[in-house]
Amino acid sequence: MAGLYPLAPFLALAGGFLLAACQWLILVYAPTEATLGLPQKIFYLHLPLAWWGLFSFFLVFIASGAYLASRKRFWDVLAGAAAEIGLALAALALISGAIWAKTSWGLWWTWDARLTTTLVMCFIYAGYLVVRGMDMQPDRRARIAAVLGIVAFLDVPLVFFSARLWSYIHPPSISLEPEMKHTLVACIASFALLWLGLLLFRWRLAQDAINLEETTKERLMRRE
C-alpha cells in the first residue's frame, strides 16, 4: 500500500478527468432511454456509486478478518479508510437514486428492497465509524471495529432478502443498448481510478495520524 501511495494523486486526477470525459458519453454518445427520458442519465453515475460503495464495504469485511487473523495495524487502517469511502459513496448513491426516483416513480423515497438495504447499510457503517472514533485503547478499538466490520457485512444479505420480501419495485436488471453499455463500463472504470486514489489518500492520512500520535507520546514520555 505504501508503495502505491505515490500514484494516489495521479489516480485521483485521472479518475476525475475521465469522469468529466464520461459526461460526453452520457449526454451525447449514449441514446436517451425511450420511457424514462433524460433523467435516466443519472443511472450512469448512480450505479458506479452503488457498486463501489458496496465493494468498499466488502473490503472492510476482508480487512477486518485479516486484522483479527494477523493483528497487523495495516488491516485496521485499511478497513477504516474503506468504510469512510464506502459510506460516502453509498450516501451519494441514495441521494442520486432519490432524485431519479422522484422523476420516475413520482416520489423521493419508497420502502423498496434495494433502497432499504442501502439505507440500513449506511446506518450500520455510520455506527461502525462511531465505534472507530471512540476514545479507547487502540488495540481494543481495532479488535471491536474488526468484529463489527465482519458482523455488519454478514447482515447485508439478510437485510436485502428481508426488504425484498417486504416490497420490491426497484428493477432487478435492465436491458441496455450497446452504446449505453459502453458508457456504463467507462463510468465504472473511471470511478475505479477515483476510488483507488481516494482510498490511498485516506489510508495515508490515517497512517500519518497514528504516526503523529505515537511520536507525540514518545516525546512526552522522554520529557517525563
Partner 1 sequence: MLKAALLIASKDLRLTMGRGSGLLQALLLGLLLIFVFSLSLTPGQRMSAQGAAAIFWMASAFCQVLIFSTLYGLEEINGQRQGLVLAPSPAQGVWLGKALAGLCLLVASQTLFLPATIVFLGQEISDLWRLGLAIVIIGDIGIVAIGSLLGALSQGQSARESLLSIVLFPLLAPLFLGGIRIGSAVFSGKLSEGADGWFGIALAFDAIFVASALALFPSVYNAEE
3-state SS assignment for residue 136: coil
**Neighbour-count burial of 180, counting CB atoms closer than 10 A to its CB (0-12 exposed, 13-18 middle, 19+ buried):** buried
Quick one: which of 36, 109, 110, 155 contacts partner 1 (CB under 8 A)?
155
The CA-to-CA distance between both ends of the chain, in Å, stands at 36
Subset of residues 162 to 201 that bind partner 1, contact rule: CB under 8 A: 162-163, 165-166
Beta bridge partners of 33: 37
Subset of residues 85 to 144 that bind partner 1, contact rule: CB under 8 A: 116, 120, 123-124, 126-128, 130-131, 134, 136-137, 139-140, 143-144
Minimum CB–partner distance for residue 167 and partner 1 (Å)? 10
Minimum CB–partner distance for residue 165 and partner 1 (Å)? 5
Count of residues engaged in binding partner 1, rule: CB under 8 A? 32
- CA–CA separation, 209 vs 205, rounded Å? 6
CB 11 within 8 A of CB 200: yes
Subset of residues 68 to 87 that bind partner 1, contact rule: CB under 8 A: 68
- The span of 85-93, 160-168, 188-196, 215-223 binding partner 1 (CB under 8 A) equals 160-168
DSSP line for 28-71: IISPPBTTTBGGGGGHHHHHHHHHHHHHHHHHHHHHHHHHHHH-
Fill in the per-residue mask, 39 to 68: x = in contact with partner 1 (CB under 8 A), - = not in contact: -----------------------------x
- CA–CA separation, 132 vs 129, rounded Å? 5
* Interface residue list for partner 1 (CB under 8 A): 68, 116, 120, 123-124, 126-128, 130-131, 134, 136-137, 139-140, 143-144, 146-148, 150-152, 154-155, 158-159, 161-163, 165-166
